[in-house]
């Protein structure tokens, strides 16, 4: 739906009471052609592409809470495609290119801000590894630049460049097409577009079990009753391991809490995303002025969605070492999401060991940037029964063949 400036003004003056719902709230039907488990950005994107690209419109997305209330609404909104291996670059740059035209495609402003992402190096060793990374990324066709200390200083003049700093700044590298996008808007944009194509988005619907016959899933048991379908997609970040176990197989991943926090808002001071692997800190500034910053994984596996204090303290300390001027700021909020981290830090995509159940899992700490890709390739797998060439290297079989795609470094701050 498009709004004229007059109708926007009228809504504003009327206290926003006349807005139509952006998507319906349908009852769960007994059967569909395809059912997606998990109403995060990936699940919603999958439903949209099933309908849009594959013409499959009898689709339901089942979300146990509210859409975007999982990691989609908890992440720090960084998008980038500066990964090491060609397989990863193909995947993440596919997503970034989708993001670059998504506002127009969905007619929904996802507030993509390509303000660049800057990784800061603090030692000769780190600069050496950054040079190797940058060379690999350039070979893969990614727009990255290695920077010396002066170049970093011209972009982050308020950082601590003292030679006596605990973390001296020796240089860095940047991807200028990287940046941030509004996480909720990505979920809402896909939800509205999928709904318009006939997809049922069913919230407060928890998937509790699988009915499996002859090696195939014939239906799901949910908190709103049973549902059957021809194809199923598992896209329930943070709980994919739990659900896979109910479907009778084990996913090679471990679930941890990942934390983030925001400061009180201040005037614009930071116009890129700054990351420091050595301190485990990254920070950007939101359009409201808050500093959005975060940490690496919590130290032990957990499903407690709040994170533990030593990690919070560590990230604040790391940020203040690099940006001492933020010292007087108050912290407004801290939170965490549960992330599923595979053994090689790359996602697990495509058909599962159970026929007609398809996987979109293992995005670990870095799946927001991949939302359009995760959705697109899950839809492809559900519609065709097989892989798109870009998702094929991420098949679960790599944990048998040993063809790992170890992106621990590409995943950056969070491992
Ligand atoms: P989710 O949004 O988590 O969606 C899964 C949904 O499944 C949830 O809504 C959940 O309620 C639902 N669900 C679970 N179990 C069931 C069930 N049994 N039945 C029905 N529904 C169920 N990535 C980046 O690229 N950039 C970042 O800057 C970044 N920062 C992050 C910061 C933090 C603090 C966290 C926690 C994560 C961050 N990530 C980042 C990772 C990113 O958030 C996730 O990889 C991504 O959002 C996963 O999207 P999703 O749609 O798969 O998952
Ligand atoms: O994947 O870029 C990322 C990221 C940053 C913080 C958490 N994940």
pLDDT in tens, 159-180: 999 989 999 999 999 999 999 9
96 assigned to some structural domain: no
Q: What is the rounded distance in angstroms from the CA atom of residue 101 to the CA atom of residue 23?
A: 22
Instruction: Please tell me the predicted confidence (pLDDT) of residue 166.
Output: 95
Domain's final residue, options 324, 339, 354: 339
Instruction: Please tell me the predicted confidence (pLDDT) of residue 412.
Output: 64
Same domain, 273 and 166: yes
Residues with CB under 6 A from ligand 2: 76, 78, 80, 282, 294, 365-366, 369, 412-414
Q: How many domains does the chain contain in total?
A: 2
Cβ–Cβ < 8 Å for 397, 405: no
Same domain, 322 and 350: no
Same domain, 263 and 407: no
Q: Which residue, by CA, sits nearest to atom 4 of ligand 2?
A: 366
Instruction: Please tell me the predicted confidence (pLDDT) of residue 12.
Output: 83
DSSP calls for 380-415? HHHHHSS--TTTGGG-TTHHHH------TTTTGGG-
Domain's final residue, options 339, 354, 389: 339
How large a percentage of the chain has pLDDT more than 70? 98
308 assigned to some structural domain: yes
Instruction: Please tell me the predicted confidence (pLDDT) of residue 150.
Output: 98
pLDDT for residue 9 is more than 90: no
Instruction: Please tell me the predicted confidence (pLDDT) of residue 415.
Output: 52
Cβ–Cβ < 8 Å for 322, 160: yes
pTM given for the model: 0.97
Question: The domain containing residue 283 runs over which residues?
Answer: 117-180+255-339
104 assigned to some structural domain: no
Determine the distance separating the centroid of ligand 2 and the alpha carbon of 76, expressed in angstroms.
Answer: 7
Same domain, 194 and 85: yes
Q: Which residue, by CA, sits nearest to atom 47 of ligand 1?
A: 72
Nearest ligand, CA 367: 1
Q: Which of 272, 366, 409 to mutate to test the pocket of ligand 2 (most atoms within 8 A of CB)?
A: 366
Phi, psi of 121, deg, nearest 5: -105, 140
Same domain, 267 and 355: no
Which of 19-23, 79-83, 194-198, 375-379 is the least confident region?
19-23
Ligand 2 atom index nearest CA of 275 = 5
Instruction: Please tell me the predicted confidence (pLDDT) of residue 172.
Output: 98
Q: What is the rounded distance in angstroms from the CA atom of residue 401 to the CA atom of residue 404?
A: 8
Same domain, 265 and 334: yes
Instruction: Please tell me the predicted confidence (pLDDT) of residue 367.
Output: 98
pLDDT for residue 209 is more than 60: yes
Phi, psi of 306, deg, nearest 5: -140, -20
Q: Which of 36, 37, 40 to mutate to test the pocket of ligand 1 (most atoms within 8 A of CB)?
A: 40
325 assigned to some structural domain: yes
- Average pLDDT for 272-282: 93
231 assigned to some structural domain: yes
pLDDT (tens digit, 9 = 90+) per residue, 345-400? Answer: 999 999 999 999 999 999 999 999 999 999 999 999 999 999 999 999 999 999 99
pLDDT (tens digit, 9 = 90+) per residue, 59-99? Answer: 999 999 999 999 999 999 999 999 999 999 999 999 999 99
Instruction: Please tell me the predicted confidence (pLDDT) of residue 411.
Output: 64
User: What is the CATH classification number for the domain harbouring 398?
Assistant: 3.50.50.60
Determine the distance separating the centroid of ligand 2 and the alpha carbon of 22, expressed in angstroms.
Answer: 29
pLDDT confidence tier of residue 293, bands split at 50, 70 and 90? very high
Ligand 2 atom index nearest CA of 368 = 1
User: What is the CATH classification number for the domain harbouring 267?
Assistant: 3.30.9.10
Sign (positive/negative) of CA torsion 295, 296, 300, 301?
A: positive
246 assigned to some structural domain: yes
Same domain, 299 and 398: no
Same domain, 194 and 238: yes
284 assigned to some structural domain: yes
36 assigned to some structural domain: yes
Q: Which residue, by CA, sits nearest to atom 45 of ligand 1?
A: 367
- Average pLDDT for 41-46: 99
DSSP assigned state of 81: -
Instruction: Please tell me the predicted confidence (pLDDT) of residue 161.
Output: 96
Domain's final residue, options 323, 339, 355: 339
Same domain, 294 and 314: yes
Same domain, 79 and 209: yes
Same domain, 293 and 238: no
CA distances from 376 to 42, 80, 106, 138, 272 (A): 8, 18, 14, 26, 28
Q: Which of 117, 333, 360, 365 to mutate to test the pocket of ligand 1 (most atoms within 8 A of CB)?
A: 365
- Average pLDDT for 39-68: 98
Q: What is the rounded distance in angstroms from the CA atom of residue 97 to the CA atom of residue 84?
A: 18
Same domain, 57 and 189: yes
Determine the distance separating the centroid of ligand 1 and the alpha carbon of 165, expressed in angstroms.
Answer: 36
The mean predicted confidence, pLDDT, of the chain is 95
């Amino acid at each position: 739906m498009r709004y004229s400036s007059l109708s926007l003004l009228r809504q504003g003056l009327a206290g926003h009471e006349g807005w139509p719902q952006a998507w319906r709230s349908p009852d769960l039907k007994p059967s569909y052609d395809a059912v997606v488990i998990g109403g995060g950005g990936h699940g919603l994107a999958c439903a949209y592409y099933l309908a849009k690209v594959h013409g499959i419109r009898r689709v339901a997305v089942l979300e146990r809470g509210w859409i975007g209330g999982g990691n989609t609404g908890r992440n720090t909104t960084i998008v980038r495609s500066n990964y090491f291996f060609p397989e990863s670059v193909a995947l993440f740059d596919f997503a970034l290119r989708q993001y670059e035209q998504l506002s127009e495609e969905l007619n929904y402003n996802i507030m993509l801000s390509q303000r660049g992402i800057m990784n800061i190096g603090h030692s000769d060793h780190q600069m050496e590894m950054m040079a190797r990374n940058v060379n690999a990324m350039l070979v893969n066709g990614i727009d990255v630049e290695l920077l010396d200390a002066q170049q970093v200083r011209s972009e982050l003049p308020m950082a601590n460049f003292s030679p006596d700093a605990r973390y001296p700044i020796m240089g860095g590298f940047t991807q200028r097409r990287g940046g941030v996008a509004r996480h909720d808007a990505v979920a809402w944009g896909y939800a509205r577009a999928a709904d318009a194509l006939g997809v049922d988005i069913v919230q407060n619907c928890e998937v509790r079990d699988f009915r499996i016959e002859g090696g195939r899933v014939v239906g799901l048991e949910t908190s709103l009753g049973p549902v059957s379908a021809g194809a199923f997609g598992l896209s329930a970040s943070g709980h994919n391991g739990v659900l896979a176990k109910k479907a009778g197989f084990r996913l090679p991943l471990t679930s941890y809490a990942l934390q983030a926090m925001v400061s009180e808002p201040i005037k614009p001071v930071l116009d890129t995303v700054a990351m420091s692997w050595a301190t485990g800190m990254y920070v950007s500034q939101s359009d409201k002025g808050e500093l959005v910053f975060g940490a690496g994984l919590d130290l032990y596996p957990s499903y407690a969605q709040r994170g533990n204090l030593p990690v919070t303290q560590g990230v604040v300390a790391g940020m203040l070492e690099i940006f001492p001027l933020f010292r007087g700021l108050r912290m407004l909020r801290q939170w965490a999401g549960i992330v599923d981290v595979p053994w090689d830090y790359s996602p697990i995509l495509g058909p599962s060991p159970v026929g007609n159940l398809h996987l979109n899992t293992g995005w670990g700490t870095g799946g927001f940037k991949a939302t359009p890709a995760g959705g697109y390739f899950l839809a492809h797998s559900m519609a065709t029964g097989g892989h798109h060439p870009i998702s094929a290297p991420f098949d679960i079989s790599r944990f048998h063949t040993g063809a790992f795609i170890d992106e621990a470094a590409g995943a950056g701050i969070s491992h």
